[in-house]
Every structure is written in C-alpha cells, then in structure tokens.
Amino acid sequence: MARHNYKIRPAPKWEDGFFLPATPIPIAKNPNDWSLIEGLQSIQALARNAVEATTLYSMTDPCAHAHGFGTRIWVPGDPDIIRHLFVKNSSHLKMQPIRQMLLRPVLKDGLITAEGKQWRRTRHLLAPVFTPRNTDGFADAMAASTEAALPELFGGEAQVFLSDKMLNLAYTVLSDTLFSGEIEEDTARVLADIAQLLNLLGRPNPMDMLKVPAWIPRLNRMRGLRAVKRVRAMISDATDKRMAAKARGEAVPDDFLTLLINSGDDDNAPLTGDEIEDQMLTFIGAGHETTSRAMTWMLYLLSQDKERRAKVEAEVDALDLSLPAEQWADHIPFAMACFEETMRLFPPAPIISRELTADVQYKDREFKTGDAVMINLWALHRHRNLWDRPDAFMPERFLPEARGSIDRFQYLPFGLGHRVCIGQRFALKEAGILIALIMRDYRFDYASDVAPWPKMRITVQADNAMPMKVIRR
Ligand code: HEM
C-alpha cells in the first residue's frame, strides 16, 4: 500500500451497534523511517489536508516524535506527559513560530496570538467579561437570535448545505452577543469576508513550512488580507459609534462590545480601541466557526444513527423552554454527550502547538529547548491506548456516570492550562440552545451517496458542505 493513503476513502460502517464515520486510514509507516521524497509528500499532504497526514504512530505511541522542517516535533499521546508539559512546565512554552506566522498578521494582539506581558494584560482584562454571570446573561439573547433565524435558514428549502447554514447561524448568534446587531453590513457579505479570513488563517503555506523568508509574497494571503481589512473596518466603525453613544450619556446595549469598552481596573488601563478591535476579531475568528462545525458534524452523525437521534429528540421535546435558556444544556444530558462525542471525533480546533523555551525532563525523556510540541487532537482523541472503540460514535462515554473514567488531559477540545479556551462556557451554553431549538423543529437526513470527508483547515470540516434533506418535525 502507498505510504500516503489519501486516495483511498473507506466507507463509513457499523460495528456492534456503533456508527464509524468515514475517515482517512492513518499512515502506517513511522515518519522517522520516511525517505526524503516521503517527507516532501507529507508537507504537501499537510497543506492539502492534515487529517490525511496523520500517522498510526501518533495514535499508538505515548509520545511520538519526528524531525520535520529542521525541528524535532513531539506529538504527545499520554495524558500525564501532556499535563507535565502544558501545566507543570507551561512557563517554558511559547507559541509555535509557524502558528504565529499564520495568525498574528491577522489577529495581531488578540488573546489567541498575544504572548508574554500583552497576553497577561489581555487575559486579566477579559476574565471579567467571560465570568459565568456574564456568559449566562447572554443565553436569552442567543436563544432569541436562534429562534428568529431558524425559519429563514431551514423553513424554505427541502435540501440545504448544512455547513453553510450552521456557519450563518453561529455567526448571527455571536454577532448579536458581540454587537447587539448594530452591524450595518449584510450578513452574507461579512460571512464571505470571514470565510476568506479563516481560510487565510487555516492553510499552512508550504513556503512557511520550508521557512522561506516572510518578505517573499504568498499569493493566497493577499486576497485574504483585503477581507481582514474590511472586517476590521466594520468592527472599528461599530466601536467608534458605541464609544460616542456612551460619551453622549445614551443607554448602550449590554453586550461584549460594551463590556470591552468598560474594561480596566485600579491597576490596569482599559483596553484601547486597537486592542478592542483585535479582541473582537479574535472572538469572531475563534467563536463561530468552531461551534458551527461541531453542530454540523453532530447532526450528520445523528442522521446516520437514528436510534440515538430519537433519544435526543425525545430529550429536547421534553425540555421546558420556559426555563431560562442558560439552564437548557443541563436538562439535555444525552444531547450534550452527543455534542462532546462529536468534538472528540471531529475536534473543531484540532491543533495546539507550542515551542519549548527551556529543556524539560519527563522520566527518561528529554524535551529540548527549540523542540516543537504539538497536541494533535485528531490523534489524541482517537488514541488507541486511551479509548475504547476509538473511531466509533459512542456518546454514552460522556454521560455523567461514565465521564469520570476520561482523564482531564486525554480529551481537550477546548485546550488546556492557562491558555484554555476563554469561550468554553459560552460555546457549551450556545450548543445546548442550538440543539434544543433546531432539533425540536427540524430533522436532517443526509442527502448524498458519498460520505462526508473530514478536511482540516483551522477547523475540521466536511469536504462537501454537508448536503442535508430538511424535514419539518
Ligand atoms: C466549540 C467551540 C470552541 C472550541 C472547540 C474552541 C477551542 C479552543 C481551543 C482548543 C483553544 C486553545 C488554543 C491553543 O491553546 O492554542 C481556544 C482558545 C481560545 N478560544 Fe476557543 N473554542 C470554542 C469557542 C470559543 C468561543 C465561543 C470564543 C469567544 C467568544 C472563543 C475564544 C477563544 C479565545 C479568545 C482563545 C484564546 C485563549 C488564550 O490563549 O488565552 N472560543 N479555543
């Protein structure tokens, strides 16, 4: 068999009552034994679709490692090693240069890309914005925004591309909580710009991997940067208007933008206009595509596993929608287990990569300054040493009674340590609300003979935008 198996697309299958979606066959040959040609092929595969470049080695070894692009790269698959590196030794990690090269020109000092003093200041100022009280306070707005959007998204057409609809919905919900709908631009136009922006963030350029100097232009980047400029202008316009309204003493909405404008405390100056722009762009980049991809995959998995779909439907039908929306997720445990299991199989933000700034010892293993450490959630979440039936959709493992047997550091959809996702609670509340409102009224049946194929960009998405027949329940 060829070392790269990307041309072989195995069909999805059933095993003992569990659905196994179609996924690439992991590369069997250990990367340390690759020839030069195979190494170059892997750069191509990484740029095209990194899921297809996953090796069996990274899914079976406690700490796979290989040399790539002149650096030693570790891919830990053992929760204890992950804890040791990312929690006990977090002060010896910095963001990996290739990641920063992709993200920083776009997100600048946004929380995801800030480092050192700037990151500490921003995280400190944003912590009060993302308290449970504030996050839960957004739940009713999220529910209202979802309810208003659903008829237009799913009411008209018999068949839809679910990926597009979910992106639209998640962006609408996020933008309503960020700016309270005070964005004048047309949603479709903004979404097209954001799609270009995310494409720019999510596609490692082979020139970057080969360390070609930054001053040599990457053509795919220029078009994306024009889209970034337009999105930034939209944010700064909304911020200026809000600040002016506040200065005039007018009542302003209780949303993320107002919280950011009101940031600051005795020891820390409030966020500046430029910092607010960076954070809002970061929230847009980090906060809607992730949730929408997970929702899309979940609805696909349930379209195949009709028994479990019926269980989720029974749960959402029994949910009392007069309860505050912030509580909905707590009342639909099986649905939320499906959501978590979906993020295991199709992690929305699959790569957590860092570089070591000091030597670190773990038992007899030596991690050296300059080594790259990359948690590949695709491999970790399907690691053969850690999971029973790693490739199967088995939501029951996330039910409260079973969950205790999952190590905190073997399942990391929201990252870990001090750089754990700041929007985790927001995302889970939102997922509960979307599932409840969508699945109460609509059912989706997969509408193609060819199974969706996972494609890794900045998120893990379906290569065919997920065609679905919409059935009004
Ligand atoms: C299902 C939804 C989401 C998933 C799976 C997700 C996943 C992640 C992951 C894995 C990280 C860590 C990245 C790293 O360490 O390199 C992260 C960080 C981050 N996320 Fe999320 N995220 C989600 C939703 C959100 C939302 C809704 C927001 C904001 C509204 C958000 C904002 C952020 C920010 C600002 C960071 C950077 C935190 C820091 O470095 O201090 N995310 N997210």
- What string of pLDDT tens digits covers the 473 residues of the chain? 345 566 688 999 999 999 999 999 999 889 898 888 888 887 788 778 889 989 999 999 999 999 877 789 999 999 999 999 999 999 999 999 888 888 888 899 999 999 999 999 999 999 999 999 999 999 999 999 999 999 999 988 899 999 999 999 999 999 999 988 777 677 788 888 888 887 777 565 655 655 666 566 666 667 778 888 989 999 999 999 999 999 999 999 989 999 999 999 888 999 999 999 999 999 998 998 999 999 999 999 999 999 999 999 999 999 999 999 999 999 999 999 999 999 999 999 999 999 999 999 999 999 999 999 999 999 999 999 999 999 999 999 999 999 999 999 999 999 999 999 999 999 999 999 999 999 999 999 999 999 999 999 889 999 999 999 999 99
3-class secondary-structure state, position 111 = coil
CA 36 and chain centroid, separation: 33
Ligand 1: list residues with CB < 6 Å.
111-112, 123, 282-283, 286-287, 290-291, 294, 348-349, 352, 413-415, 419, 421-423, 426-427
Query: Ligand 1: distance of its center to the CA of 398 in Å?
Result: 21
d(CA 47, CA 204): 6
The H or E element spanning position 402 is helix 400-403
Please check whether residue 464 lies inside any domain of the structure: yes
3-class secondary-structure state, position 412 = coil
Q: How many domains does the chain have?
A: 1
Question: Secondary structure of the chain: what % helix, strand, coil (to 5)?
Answer: 55, 15, 35
Please check whether residue 298 lies inside any domain of the structure: yes
Query: Ligand 1: distance of its center to the CA of 312 in Å?
Result: 26
Closest ligand 1 atom, CA of 377? 10
Give, to the nearest 10 degrees, the angle between helix 219-247 and helix 97-107: 50
Query: Ligand 1: distance of its center to the CA of 375 in Å?
Result: 15
Please check whether residue 2 lies inside any domain of the structure: no
**DSSP annotation of 58:** G
Please check whether residue 4 lies inside any domain of the structure: no
Identify the pLDDT of residue 439: 98
CB 201 within 8 A of CB 458: yes
Closest ligand 1 atom, CA of 256? 30
Query: Ligand 1: distance of its center to the CA of 422 in Å?
Result: 6
Query: Ligand 1: distance of its center to the CA of 420 in Å?
Result: 7
Pairing of strands 71-76, 372-376: parallel
Closest ligand 1 atom, CA of 418? 41
Closest ligand 1 atom, CA of 430? 27
CB 372 within 8 A of CB 353: yes
**Cα-Cα-Cα-Cα dihedral sign, residues 104, 109, 115, 119:** negative
Query: Ligand 1: distance of its center to the CA of 144 in Å?
Result: 24
Residue identifier of the C-alpha nearest atom 39 of ligand 1: 419
Please check whether residue 8 lies inside any domain of the structure: no
d(CA 163, CA 462): 8
Radius of gyration of the chain (CA): 22
Closest among 291, 296, 347, 49 to 164, alpha carbons compared: 296
Please check whether residue 5 lies inside any domain of the structure: no
Closest ligand 1 atom, CA of 415? 10
Site to probe by mutation for ligand 1, drawn from 275, 421, 426 as the one with most ligand atoms within 8 Å of Cβ, is: 421
Residue identifier of the C-alpha nearest atom 27 of ligand 1: 287
Query: Ligand 1: distance of its center to the CA of 419 in Å?
Result: 9
The CATH number linked to 60 is 1.10.630.10
Distances from the Cα of 332 to the Cαs of 164, 313, 347, 462, in angstroms? 26, 10, 21, 26
Query: Ligand 1: distance of its center to the CA of 290 in Å?
Result: 8
Query: Ligand 1: distance of its center to the CA of 60 in Å?
Result: 27
Token readout for 95 is 């963001």
Token readout for 414 is 């929201």
Residue-number span of the structural domain to which 207 is assigned: 13-472
Identify the pLDDT of residue 4: 59
CB 316 within 8 A of CB 194: no
CB 114 within 8 A of CB 100: no
Residue identifier of the C-alpha nearest atom 6 of ligand 1: 414
Closest among 177, 219, 224 to 198, alpha carbons compared: 224
What pTM was computed for the model? 0.94
What is the number of other CB atoms lying within 10 angstroms of the CB of residue 122? 23
Q: Any idea which residue has 């070894």 for tokens? A: 61
